[in-house]
Amino acid sequence: MRFTIGWLKEHLVTKFKDSQIIEKLTDIGLEVESFEKASSDLDNFKVAKIINVEQHPNADKLKVCDVDIGKKNTVKVVCGAPNAKKDLLTIYAGPGSVIPKNKMKLAVSKIRGVSSYGMLCSESELNLSDESDGITELKPNRYSNKVGKNFFRNKTEKVIDLSITPNRPDCLGVRGVARDLAAAGIGKLRNLSNIKIKNSGPQKIKVSITKSKNQGCSIFGSCLINDVTNKESPKWLKDKILSLGQKPISAIVDITNYVMLDLNRPLHAYDADKIDKEIIVRNSEKGETFEALDNKDYKLDDDMCVISDNSGILGLGGIIGGTRSGTEFNTKNILLESAYFLPRSIRKTSKLLNIDTDAKFRFERGIDSQSIEIGLNKAAQLITEICGGKVSNFDIQSVRKEKKNKIKFKISLFDRITGFKIRDKEIIKILLDLGFEVSKNKSELELQIPTWRPDITQPIDIVEEIVRIKGYNNIKTLVPEKNRIKDTLNKQQKLFHFLQRSVASKGYFETVTWSFTDSKLNNFYKENYKEIKIVNPISSDLDVLRNSIFPNLTFYLKKNLDRGFKDISLFEIGPIFKSNKPGDQLTVIGAIKSGKISRLNWNDENRSVDVFDAKKDSIQTLIEAGYDRGNLFVREKSPSYYHPGKSGSIYLDKDDIEPVAYFGEIHPNIIKKLDIKTEALVGFEIFLDCLKDNKYKLKDLKSKFKFSDYQKSDRDFAFVVDKNFKAQDLIEIISSIDQSLIRSVKIFDVYEGENIPKNKKSIALNVTIQSSEKTLDENDLEKINKLIISTVETKSGAKIRS
């Protein structure tokens, strides 16, 4: 909503300064976005100084000037003026400027092979005088310190730009803004002039509103104005239209626009001679078409509110007029429309057809149903003033009474909600100033809501009116109470935050990427999930919700590799989606690691990342989160985007069906298809929703400390087993032989090759044996040794290596 202070003062008598008005507007909820002069075409003309002149290489009469245009900028301008010389102060017009005399728009152009950035202007080109023999010469004493400044003073008034919230259609007109200011103590609202226009004779074009279901128009007011002379608007009107950044079109169109902006009363003017007999306001039928004033053809659906005549559609009511009946400069007779369209109908139609106009914007927010005649009167008055003509009687057709709403307001609600009190008298004054009709009944007010305030429907709305006009600065600042209803975080949330920092502490950088991704990338990782399309994606490469964290992670990994980074560890903790149903999502950690461990370190072992890095990081994270390593179980099974031989899944327990994590090297085919250039790429995923609640709190776990001081013994074994035999199973076989004696089993070597049969491998283990009851002697140890060997050999088919 844009207007000038001058315009505001047509409705408001005030002695307040501009700055006070601006501040008050924001204080009462009419947020001021800006308060500045509208930019003018003349802003492009700058005072400039020629600092060097050279002969044009290809033309005798032309010169190439270096021109200082201020702010340390110098440009080259080709100029034919005989008086162009070094140190001359003149007027420069940059590319984009429009020359006042011939309305020519400047562009950077080549003149005989030399580029010219703008031009130096003569007085005649600027309409300053008839002098056209050379460029303007400015007097050094006045202009030498003004290089770079605008030559013309911008005489336009400053424009207030308000951001009006959707509940305040009344403030889409200058008068509504003035009313609010008056209520807030910034002056007094002027009365609307009640000069009634002289009407002569009946409105001869018959108007009817069909009484169909879903009729989107309830009132249609109109008048005929005959014998008008349409023309350009007078300067005061043009200036008003221009100050809002709009283009003046013709007096009739400008007047209807002006009344709309002034009173928030949209109007439409038809060329009456183009109307076929009568006006029928009716619902459209599917398939009807018409050409609108935006020069587009629209194909209509059922039940759209149209204004039609006997030949067809003239316009979409309250949204846009049609070309067939539009006014032109030669229009002689006009029909002026002032109607009430229902917000719901306007919204539905404009959404379906995707049209946005000033009128639509206003009608869908709600127009004052009582402003029909006021609007006709004001517009007719202006039209006859400017274009002449005779105005008919006003014809008002209506199919429904737009009633005035009443509410009861308990005054105590005000301080119950705001926490402070103001006197009843002041409350009543504020409401009266806002246009309410008020009657007091003990502690209750009976209010009739002004018809321009469709947003006010219940007592809470009255509280807002009073508090915003009184000022939010009257609300106290109460110290927050610390009482607590429940724990800040539940267990799952604590786990989330714990795991987030746990993974980061292993050298991964946390990232946050979109919840959506490119379907092409997503396809690599989506497995059995359904693709979830976004109907209106922001771009075609962010067209689906992600089924995995990996599409985005690998995409951005590649970007960083392309930036020259090599050893990258990234992770994200966030949602992945199983379907488009609310809640059908999982919280997942996805982590990837590329390149090498300890690259370019003089001391450390230098190797590519591998599956066991991913395994370590995922398992350690689970252990830190409180899951016992002894219970974690690894299977070879993993999704297809991992390397089939170098990946696995982790279960909290051997008997679990759902894995809690995957780890492994990323499938080489994906690395190739994504063109990721790195020595190695591994990753892991942890599914937070699968992590069963750890029943024990730390205090429970801590109470079970047991230890043995008896001597420990270590024994080494090497077993030859089938190549496919799992190390995890071997460890489990040994560990479960005697849990009271076998404290740990460590694999220190795995060997295949010479001296080992094909399809076999040798696994070397170290077993720590300790009793909690006594020091074991040689006999005891020999016994357990033998038991280990025999059990392993029977259960696994292994052979002890001798």
Partner 1 sequence: MSDIKKIKDEFLDKLSKDLNIENVNQIKSELFGKNGQISNAFKNLGSFPPEERKKFASDLNFIKDELQEKINKKIQEIEIKEINSKLDNEKVDVTLPERNIIRGKIHPVSQVIDEISSIFSEVGFSVEEGPDVENEHYNFTALNTPDNHPARDMHDTFYLDDEKKLLLRTHTSPVQVRTMLKGKPPFKIIAPGRTYRSDSDQTHAPMFHQVEGLHIDKNINMGHLKGCLSYFIKSFFEVDKIKMRFRPSHFPFTEPSAEVDIGYELKDGKIEIGEGDKWLEILGCGMVHPNVLKNVKVNPDKYQGYAFGIGIDRLAMLKYGINDLRAFFETDYRWLNHFGFDPLDVPSNYRGLSR
Residue 521 found at the interface with partner 1 (CB under 8 A): no
Size of the site for partner 1 (CB under 8 A): 99
CB 620 within 8 A of CB 655: no
Residues 292-351 binding partner 1 (CB under 8 A) are: 343-344, 347-348
CB of 186 to partner 1, least distance (A): 15
Distance CA 484, CA 138 (A): 75
Structure tokens at 697: 């709190």
**139 to each of 71, 75, 87, 232, how far by Cα in Å?**
21, 22, 11, 38
Residue 538 found at the interface with partner 1 (CB under 8 A): yes
CB 667 within 8 A of CB 640: yes
Instruction: Write the binding mask 614 to 653 for partner 1: x where contact by CB under 8 A, - elsewhere.
Output: ----------------------------------------
CB 730 within 8 A of CB 719: yes
CB of 15 to partner 1, least distance (A): 24
- Single residue of 515, 744, 768, 791 touching partner 1 by CB under 8 A: 515
> How many Cβ atoms sit within 10 Å of the Cβ of residue 720?
19
Structure tokens at 193: 């002039």
Instruction: Write the binding mask 468 to 497 for partner 1: x where contact by CB under 8 A, - elsewhere.
Output: x---xx-xxxxxxxxxxxxxxxx--x---x
Of 229 and 493, the one with the shorter C-beta distance to partner 1 is 493
Distance CA 11, CA 541 (A): 53
CB of 546 to partner 1, least distance (A): 11
DSSP 645: E
CB 740 within 8 A of CB 771: yes
- Single residue of 171, 172, 372, 503 touching partner 1 by CB under 8 A: 503
Residues 153-212 binding partner 1 (CB under 8 A) are: 165-168
430: left (phi over 0), alpha (psi -120 to 50) or beta: alpha
Distance CA 373, CA 219 (A): 11
- Single residue of 40, 511, 744, 791 touching partner 1 by CB under 8 A: 511
Of 445 and 545, the one with the shorter C-beta distance to partner 1 is 545
Helix pair angle (251-263, 235-243), 10° resolution: 50
Indicate the Cα dihedral angle 193, 195, 199, 205, nearest 10°. Answer: 0
CB of 666 to partner 1, least distance (A): 17
Element at 271 (helix H, strand E): strand 268-271
Instruction: Write the binding mask 420 to 449 for partner 1: x where contact by CB under 8 A, - elsewhere.
Output: x-----------------------------
CB of 436 to partner 1, least distance (A): 17
- Single residue of 396, 504, 676, 764 touching partner 1 by CB under 8 A: 504
CB of 245 to partner 1, least distance (A): 21
Of 222 and 350, the one with the shorter C-beta distance to partner 1 is 350
Cα angle value 215/219/221 (rounded, 5°): 135
Distance CA 291, CA 325 (A): 10
Instruction: Write the binding mask 369 to 408 for partner 1: x where contact by CB under 8 A, - elsewhere.
Output: ----------------------------------------
Of 575 and 668, the one with the shorter C-beta distance to partner 1 is 575
- Spatial CB neighbours of 487, under 8 Å, sequence gap ≥ 6: none
CB of 575 to partner 1, least distance (A): 5
CB 614 within 8 A of CB 684: yes
Of 69 and 160, the one with the shorter C-beta distance to partner 1 is 160
Where does this chain touch partner 1 (CB under 8 A) — which range of 303-311, 530-538, 635-643, 734-742? Answer: 530-538
312-316 and 320-321 strand pairing = antiparallel
Q: Which residues of 258-282 are buried (b: 16+ CB within 10 A; e: fewer)?
A: bbbbbbbbbbbbbbbebbeeebbbb
Distance CA 83, CA 132 (A): 11
Residues 550-609 binding partner 1 (CB under 8 A) are: 552, 556, 559-560, 563, 565, 568-570, 574-575, 577, 580-585, 597-598, 601-604
Distance CA 76, CA 583 (A): 64
CB of 638 to partner 1, least distance (A): 24
Of 166 and 757, the one with the shorter C-beta distance to partner 1 is 166
- Single residue of 105, 149, 206, 501 touching partner 1 by CB under 8 A: 501
Distance CA 465, CA 427 (A): 10
- Single residue of 535, 704, 739, 802 touching partner 1 by CB under 8 A: 535
Structure tokens at 272: 């009456």
Where does this chain touch partner 1 (CB under 8 A) — which range of 72-80, 188-196, 531-539, 619-627? Answer: 531-539
CB of 503 to partner 1, least distance (A): 7
Nearest to 546 by CA among 518, 567, 573, 527: 518
318: left (phi over 0), alpha (psi -120 to 50) or beta: left
Of 484 and 704, the one with the shorter C-beta distance to partner 1 is 484
CB of 553 to partner 1, least distance (A): 8
- Single residue of 6, 202, 245, 419 touching partner 1 by CB under 8 A: 419
Residue 508 found at the interface with partner 1 (CB under 8 A): yes
Residue 696 found at the interface with partner 1 (CB under 8 A): no
Residues 243-282 binding partner 1 (CB under 8 A) are: none
Residue 683 found at the interface with partner 1 (CB under 8 A): no
Of 603 and 759, the one with the shorter C-beta distance to partner 1 is 603
Give the 3-state secondary structure of 285-351: CCCCEEEECCCCEEECCCCCEEEEECCEEEEECCCEEECCCCCCCCCCCEEEEEEEECHHHHHHHHH
CB of 747 to partner 1, least distance (A): 25
Residues 26-55 binding partner 1 (CB under 8 A) are: 26-29, 31
Element at 427 (helix H, strand E): helix 424-433
Of 563 and 706, the one with the shorter C-beta distance to partner 1 is 563
CB of 602 to partner 1, least distance (A): 6
Residue 532 found at the interface with partner 1 (CB under 8 A): yes
CB of 587 to partner 1, least distance (A): 9
Q: Which residues of 444-466 are buried (b: 16+ CB within 10 A; e: fewer)?
A: ebebebbbbbbbbeebeebbebb
Of 28 and 93, the one with the shorter C-beta distance to partner 1 is 28
Q: What type of residue sits at position 109?
A: S
Of 298 and 363, the one with the shorter C-beta distance to partner 1 is 363
Of 558 and 761, the one with the shorter C-beta distance to partner 1 is 558
Element at 554 (helix H, strand E): helix 550-562
334-341 and 188-189 strand pairing = unpaired
Where does this chain touch partner 1 (CB under 8 A) — which range of 73-81, 208-216, 460-468, 664-672? Answer: 460-468
Of 261 and 568, the one with the shorter C-beta distance to partner 1 is 568
Of 577 and 684, the one with the shorter C-beta distance to partner 1 is 577
Residues 84-103 binding partner 1 (CB under 8 A) are: none
DSSP 634: E
Residue 513 found at the interface with partner 1 (CB under 8 A): yes
544-545 and 516-517 strand pairing = antiparallel
Place of tokens 């009184």: 470
CB of 429 to partner 1, least distance (A): 18
CB of 64 to partner 1, least distance (A): 38
Determine the 3-state secondary structure of 685 from DSSP: strand
CB 384 within 8 A of CB 195: no
